[in-house]
């Protein structure tokens, strides 16, 4: 609990104006029931010559507002140097040491988690998003030329921003540490890595040597980004090999169920 005692040196006139301070607190709270007992008065010493600036004292009252346990009303009174009239500077509701406070504000882009985006939601990227960097766009003349447009698309032009090196690095870390990375249980028991599989579709650009997309409908990774050293039982080279026969039958065999076999 904060110290609301009335120390020596506090303005006697301001310190005695408890009812004036309470009335101001009640007016702000809207009801006398929401302003509790008087907790004390504390002098506010301004910067500079306090005697020249006058006196400033803050009265504190316990808060009776529902949900504001541990809070208090702070009413600041002031009196100009040489004046007799006391004025109310401000009335605020302040938390004490044991007050229940809301958690610190976190910007929405830092609160989002994977999977939060649902149908109809719009997730705009910020201008300073470190995952994106400016790219090159084509002009209107090039957009009207089919050959120029095809070349621009092949080179990756036409987008205002593309992923930065930091953005690609973070994506690579997520993919490698996920369910379709080299350390997953499926990969450890696979007959071969994805890089040797016929269903492996490599990504373009700088991630080509590390990642691709699985195109095997029977694989648990179908349509997912996989690392080159991931693998599963649906590898294209995982063919069945017939075991060689260990017994050779040299004599003919007949069904003797319909007749008797005569021997010498």
Cα separation, 258 vs 63, in Å, equals 106
pLDDT digits (tens, 9 = 90+) for 90-147: 999 999 988 888 888 888 778 888 888 888 888 888 888 888 888 776 555 555 667 6
Average pLDDT along the chain:
81
- Say whether 234 sits in a helix, a strand or coil: coil
- Say whether 79 sits in a helix, a strand or coil: strand
Q: Which residues pair with 61 in a beta bridge?
A: 38, 73
Cα separation, 104 vs 157, in Å, equals 42
Give the pLDDT confidence score for residue 62 in this predicted structure.
Answer: 94
What percentage of the chain reaches a pLDDT higher than 90? 45
Give the pLDDT confidence score for residue 154 in this predicted structure.
Answer: 62
Provide the strand spans (E) within 64-103.
Answer: 71-79, 87-95
The model's pTM is 0.50
Low-confidence ranges of the chain (pLDDT < 50): 1-10, 49-53, 242, 244-246, 248-253
Give the pLDDT confidence score for residue 244 in this predicted structure.
Answer: 47
Give the pLDDT confidence score for residue 180 in this predicted structure.
Answer: 96
First to last CA, the chain: 117
Tokens of 66: 């529902």
Cα separation, 73 vs 61, in Å, equals 5
Q: Which residues pair with 59 in a beta bridge?
A: 41, 75
């Amino acid at each position: 609990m904060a110290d609301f005692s009335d120390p020596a040196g506090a303005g006697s006139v301001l310190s005695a104006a408890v009812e004036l301070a309470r009335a101001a607190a009640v007016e702000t709270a809207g009801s006398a029931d929401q302003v509790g007992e008087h907790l004390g008065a504390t002098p506010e010493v301004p910067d500079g010559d306090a005697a020249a600036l006058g006196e400033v004292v803050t009265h504190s009252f316990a808060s009776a507002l529902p949900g504001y346990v541990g809070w208090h009303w702070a009413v600041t009174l002031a009196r100009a140097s040489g004046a007799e009239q006391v004025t109310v500077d401000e009335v605020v509701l302040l938390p004490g040491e044991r007050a229940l406070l809301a958690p610190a504000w976190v910007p929405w882009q830092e609160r989002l988690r994977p999977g939060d985006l649902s149908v109809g939601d719009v997730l705009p990227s910020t201008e300073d998003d470190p995952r994106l960097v400016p790219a090159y766009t084509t002009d209107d003349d090039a957009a009207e030329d089919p050959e120029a447009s095809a070349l621009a698309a092949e080179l990756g032009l036409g987008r205002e921003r593309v992923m930065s090196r930091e953005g690609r690095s973070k994506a690579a870390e997520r993919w490698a540490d996920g369910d379709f990375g080299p350390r997953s249980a499926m990969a450890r028991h696979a007959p071969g890595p994805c890089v040797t599989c016929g269903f492996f579709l490599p990504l373009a650009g700088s991630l080509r040597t590390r990642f691709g997309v699985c195109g095997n409908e029977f694989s648990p990774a179908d349509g997912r980004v996989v690392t080159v050293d991931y693998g599963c039982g649906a590898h294209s080279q995982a063919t069945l090999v017939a075991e060689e026969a260990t017994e050779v039958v040299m004599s003919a065999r007949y069904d003797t169920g319909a007749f008797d076999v005569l021997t010498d």
